[in-house]
Amino acid sequence: MTIKQSAWTGMVPVDDTALAVTDTGGPGQPLVYLNGAYADQSHWRRVIADLGSGYRHITYDERARGRSKRSADYSFEACIRDVDAVLAARGVDRPILVGWSYGGVLGWHWADRNPDRVAGLVTVDAFPVGLTGEAGAERIRKLFRRMRLLFPIAARLGLAARMSADQHADVNIELNEIAAASVPVLERLTCPVWFVLATGDSLGSEEGEMEQGRAVLDPVLARNPNVKVSAKVASNHSKILRNDSPAVAQAVRELAAAHGRTVG
Q: Per the domain annotation, does 187 fall within a domain?
A: yes
pLDDT at 204: 64
Q: Per the domain annotation, does 264 fall within a domain?
A: no
We report the CATH number of the domain holding residue 142 as 3.40.50.1820
Q: Per the domain annotation, does 155 fall within a domain?
A: yes
Complete DSSP assignment for 100-120: ETHHHHHHHHHHHH-TTS-SE
Domain extent for 18? 8-258
Q: How many domains does the chain have?
A: 1
Strands across the sheet containing 227-232: 8-14, 17-23, 56-60, 30-34, 96-100, 120-124, 193-197, 227-232
pLDDT at 209: 86
Q: Per the domain annotation, does 29 fall within a domain?
A: yes
Q: Per the domain annotation, does 1 fall within a domain?
A: no
Q: Per the domain annotation, does 2 fall within a domain?
A: no
Percent of the residues in the chain that have a pLDDT greater than 70, as a whole number = 95
Q: Per the domain annotation, does 168 fall within a domain?
A: yes
pLDDT at 205: 67
Residues 18-43 have pLDDT tens digits of: 999 999 999 999 999 999 999 999 99
pTM, rounded to two decimals: 0.95
